[in-house]
Amino acid sequence: MAIDRVLLVHGAWLGAWCWSELQHELELRSIPSDAIDLPGHGASPLPPADLTADADAVVRALERVGENTLLVGHSYGGAVITQAAARTTSVSHLLYIAAFALDHGESVNGFLRSAPRHHVELADAMVLNDERTATTLNESIAGELMYPTLNDDRRRVNLARHCAQPTATMTQPVDGSPRVSIPSTYVLCRKDRLVHPAHQEILATRCDTTVVLDTDHSPFIEDVHTVANIIEEIVTSK
């Protein structure tokens, strides 16, 4: 099935803004793309919610952009695109970037509990609110973990855009296994300090193709040209 457009889904605490450099590079290559703000993130007017509401937002976005879409998810966004793709026929390919390629009935936390134990430095940066309904990130720790290659000014700008992440998004299981019928690619990031590379190796086996990068958690920021190359290859090979 031909791919006409790319839809980008961000991870926890982030927003559509994180894709701006990649979108610019894709535009230079004449590859149309859209980036969505999940509820309660970025410029979204909706309240933060759970995995189902996040997937609903992606399904609505897919309805707007049309058929034959490459759906890209980063980190927690992998759970979202899995849930969304199970509910639509608009997706031609799934691309997971250091993301949770979950199986039916599995949640982010459920996967982490069942996978081999590895210390993930992100846990040191997470701050749970008093109600235990959302987490934020300690900027003094998160900056180095999430944006190790950025200069101080760019790192500060990105950290200022972070928002709270509902804990429900991590505990709610996905409903469906779209990779059974939709081709999928996994981008495994060897220097990732948020989603452990050993965990990514397990998740990558669930996809048809794996691309290994020697980058941190956000290669679309650190190595935008390489990620654009991966997307271009998927788009043009159909």
Q: Which residues of 198-215 are buried (b: 16+ CB within 10 A; e: fewer)?
A: ebbeebbebbeebbebeb
Separation of alpha carbons 100 and 116, rounded Å:
15
E strand or H helix that includes residue 166: strand 165-166
In the chain, what are the domain boundaries? 5-236
Beta bridge partners of 184: 94
The answer as to CATH 3.90.180.10 being correct for domain 5-236 is: no
For residues 99-108, average pLDDT = 98
- Encode pLDDT of 20-63 as tens digits: 999 999 999 999 999 999 999 999 999 999 999 999 999 999 99
Q: Is 167 helix (H, G, I), strand (E, B) or coil?
A: coil
Q: Return the structure tokens found at 203.
A: 């998740």
Closest CA to 222 of 200, 198, 191: 191
pTM: 0.97
